[in-house]
Amino acid sequence: MKKRILVTGGAGFLGSHLCERLLNEGNEVICLDNFFTGSKQNVIHLIDNPYFEMIRHDVTMPFFIEVDEIYNLACPASPIHYQYNAIKTIKTSVMGAINMLGLAKRVKAKVLQASTSEVYGDPEIHPQTEDYWGHVNPIGLRSCYDEGKRCAESLFFNYHRQNDVRIKVMRIFNTYGPRMDPNDGRVVSNFIVQALKNEDITIYGDGSQTRSFCYVDDLLEGMVRLMNTPDAFTGPVNIGNPGEFTILELAQNVIELTNSKSKIINQPLPADDPMQRQPDITIAKKELGWEPKIPLQEGLIKTIEYFKSVI
């Protein structure tokens, strides 16, 4: 059955892939975005589809529409972008959640929140399970994002308990792939762009910190499966690739796959940069029947091809 689906942040990296996928599955898609970090270019190939609508709007303002499902992705995701206007980032997470939950309540839509592994902060348990409450600096430079997302999770669960809103909370771990913004400062895009230009690869700190990188197609499969779970399942659920790599290993992989002449240089580690991150995906496997399929090298090759075409 054709559903009418709202995707906030739909012109961003993950949102644009999601809009495309939902349209391909035969749905009607409304993409809402204020174009802060996203761009029309990401969805330009969808514009001619009569079942696709693009709306310039800011989620901090109320929005009225009739829809069956809402994917709430609007929020800058890279540290450079979310720290650019920290107060706005908090407003986007918190007021955006309130507006989308209010909308879901009124039209009885299901609503999915793109939460983050950042709710775990700099974790003291490894790998991270959903029952871990996290280790977040509430006043640090990353707090606008971390605490904004934590407050959004609280709002989701309170709307669920108080108003029976049908919610899905997804904790996304570092995801990469085509349509990442080459200038947003995230590690995969930075390293690939630097390697392709034979510029120095900038490792912050000694490169021993770890991340677990999920390819965008795997991530979206988990996201759509989560939306389609029975109402009783709300999450939170970790979606990410448990393959854990140091940032130095990532740099070495990128240099090898691009045949780059780049040298690795070290720069200071930003404040509160988490030392390790790896999702425990037991719940995703059980409840969604999901696990990632694309290993890092394979995903990097596809992403490198994309960056070759845009830079």
Positions marked catalytic: 145
Q: Which of 5, 22, 27, 60 binds ligand NAD (CB under 6 A)?
A: 60
End-to-end Cα distance, the chain: 40
Residue count, binding to ligand NAD (CB under 6 A): 27
Q: Which of 27, 190, 212, 258 binds ligand UDP (CB under 6 A)?
A: 190
Q: Which of 114, 187, 196, 294 binds ligand NAD (CB under 6 A)?
A: 114
Q: Identity (one letter) of the amino acid at 308?
A: K
- 79 near ligand UDP, rule: CB under 6 A: yes
Handedness of CA 37, 40, 43, 49 (dihedral sign): positive
Residue appearing with tokens 């206007």? 85
- 26 near ligand UDP, rule: CB under 6 A: no
What is the rounded CA–CA span in Å between residue 83 and residue 258?
Answer: 31
- 202 near ligand UDP, rule: CB under 6 A: yes
Site for ligand NAD in 278-297 (CB under 6 A): none
- 262 near ligand UDP, rule: CB under 6 A: no
- 204 near ligand UDP, rule: CB under 6 A: yes
Site for ligand NAD in 169-228 (CB under 6 A): 172, 174-175
- 209 near ligand UDP, rule: CB under 6 A: yes
Strands 110-116, 210-212: parallel, antiparallel or unpaired by DSSP? unpaired
Residue appearing with tokens 């990410």? 240
What is the rounded CA–CA span in Å between residue 47 and residue 10?
Answer: 13
Q: Which of 14, 187, 250, 294 binds ligand NAD (CB under 6 A)?
A: 14
Which residues fall within 8 angstroms of residue 65, CB to CB, at 6 or more apart? Answer: 6, 30, 103, 107
Question: C-beta of 261: minimal distance to ligand NAD in Å?
Answer: 28
Question: C-beta of 60: minimal distance to ligand UDP in Å?
Answer: 22
Which residues fall within 8 angstroms of residue 133, CB to CB, at 6 or more apart? Answer: none
Cα dist. 14→37, 223, 260, 267, 286 in Å? 12, 10, 28, 28, 24
User: Which stretches of the chain bind ligand UDP, using CB under 6 A?
Assistant: 78-79, 174, 186-187, 190, 202-204, 209, 211, 247, 270, 273
User: Which stretches of the chain bind ligand NAD, using CB under 6 A?
Assistant: 8-9, 11-15, 33-38, 58-60, 73-77, 92, 114, 116, 172, 174-175
